[in-house]
């Protein structure tokens, strides 16, 4: 009976772990990470040696429009519009780094990124208007997950920030955001625009290993 109970617990734990991975990451490559902490409203992840192909900053008042512009530029890149005419497989998530404006009708700055597959690292082909971001060593992310189509990302970022207050991670996340004026938070989208159900999105607040050294 004890063995049976133990098996049930192991299966339950495996189901929870599986549910924690976005379904799209079972079909296409995603960056690997380790969950180092989780609580109500957030998860802390440690990423290692991830590489991203990224656009130049896109100035726009609309998150959706800026992400669409960056996505099309990066999609053309992986379809072969690069220095080697090389086709690169689609990955997830699509990241949009957000540097919000000071007002509701002012222009914000957005950088859109695709994760570079392992087989194309460490030397992905170059392309005009794109650059490579390398996460050398450990990079941490405070993460909030939400469903549906992305709408009010500012509200989701505020909810993540509120959930971190009073925790041992609050200062490290705050320091990480202050250290990077180009990005207050990052939106991760895991689904194709043509998938209407089971959508997975996340808000990330990134910080470096040195900010987590006392955790």
Looking at residue 167, its pLDDT comes to 96
* Neighbouring residues of 28: CB distance < 8 A, sequence distance ≥ 6: 89, 90, 91, 92
From first to last of the 215 residues of the chain, give the pLDDT tens digit.
444 444 333 333 333 333 478 999 999 999 999 999 999 999 999 998 899 999 999 999 999 999 999 999 999 999 999 999 999 999 999 999 999 987 777 899 999 999 999 999 999 999 999 999 999 889 999 999 999 999 899 999 999 999 999 999 999 999 998 888 778 999 999 999 889 999 999 999 999 877 665 56
pTM above 0.75, yes or no: yes
Cβ 164 vs Cβ 143: under 8 Å? no
Angle at 24 between CA 22 and CA 29, to 5 degrees: 105
Could you tell me the maximum CA-CA distance found in the chain, to the nearest angstrom? 64
Chain centroid offset of residue 103 CA: 25
Tokens (6 digits) for 73 = 């530029």
What distance in Å separates the CA atoms of residue 41 and residue 208, rounded to the nearest whole number? 21
Chain centroid offset of residue 46 CA: 12
Structure-derived torsion over alpha carbons of residues 77, 78, 80, 82, reported in degrees to the nearest 10: 40
Q: From start to end of 147-200, where are the E strands?
A: 185-189
Looking at residue 199, its pLDDT comes to 95
Looking at residue 151, its pLDDT comes to 86
CATH of domain 2-212: 3.20.80.10
From the list 52, 61, 158, the residue with the least C-alpha distance to 108 is 61
HSE-up (13 A, CA, CB side) for residue 153: 27
């Amino acid at each position: 009976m004890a063995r049976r109970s133990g098996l049930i617990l192991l299966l339950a734990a495996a189901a929870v772990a599986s549910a924690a991975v976005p379904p799209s990451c079972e079909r296409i490559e995603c960056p690997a990470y380790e969950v180092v902490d989780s609580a109500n409203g957030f998860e802390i992840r440690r990423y290692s040696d991830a590489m991203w192909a990224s656009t130049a900053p896109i100035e726009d008042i609309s998150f959706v429009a800026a992400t669409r512009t960056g996505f099309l530029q990066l999609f053309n890149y992986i379809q072969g519009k690069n220095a080697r005419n090389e086709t690169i497989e689609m990955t997830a998530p699509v990241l949009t780094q957000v540097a919000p404006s000071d007002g509701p009708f002012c222009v914000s700055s957005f950088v859109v990124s695709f994760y570079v597959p392992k087989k194309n690292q460490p030397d992905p082909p170059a392309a005009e208007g794109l650059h490579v971001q390398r996460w050398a060593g450990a990079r941490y992310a405070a993460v909030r997950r939400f469903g549906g189509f992305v709408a009010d990302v500012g509200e989701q970022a505020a909810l993540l920030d509120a959930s971190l207050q009073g925790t041992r991670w609050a200062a490290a996340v705050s320091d990480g955001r202050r250290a990077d004026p180009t990005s207050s938070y990052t939106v991760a989208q895991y689904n194709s625009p043509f998938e209407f159900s089971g959508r997975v999105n996340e808000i990330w607040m990134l910080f470096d290993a040195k900010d987590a050294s006392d955790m």
